[in-house]
Amino acid sequence: MPHLNHQIKPMQHFIKRILVEEGFNPEFFFNRIYTVKGIVYHVSEVDKNNKFFFFNMEQTSDGWRIVNAPKLPDWIMNIEKRTGKRRFPENLA
């Protein structure tokens, strides 16, 4: 069996509060994942009604964008605009 010489990188976690609507500033939980296509962030969030949402985001030169996501509420889809071109993880919110 061939020896695979992969360097294992640790998964980085961080939590950011992002204002999604007036009076609602939830915590988003980001987990950095290294894939063959590049770095992706698995993001999870629990809303005011304890409903759990999860999706992936990637950071591009144009800013953050949601990828591989099921149908999400508009207030989550709007975080792409709110995160803008901010760099990981500093100043995300």
Residue 63 lies in a domain: yes
Number of structural domains (the chain) is 1
- The pLDDT score that the predictor gives to residue 48 is 85
The answer to whether position 8 is within a domain reads no
Q: Is residue 46 part of a domain?
A: yes
Report yes or no on 31 lying in a domain: yes
Predicted local confidence at residue 92, as pLDDT: 42
Residue 33 within any structural domain of the chain = yes
Q: What is the pLDDT of residues 55-88, one digit of tens each?
A: 999 888 888 889 988 789 888 888 887 776 666 5
Mean pLDDT within 34-55: 89
Residue 90 lies in a domain: no
What pLDDT, on a 0 to 100 scale, did the predictor assign at position 1?
47
**Exposed, middle or buried by CB within 10 Å (0-12, 13-18, 19+), for 83?**
buried
pLDDT for the residue 8: 56
Structural domain harbouring 74: 13-83
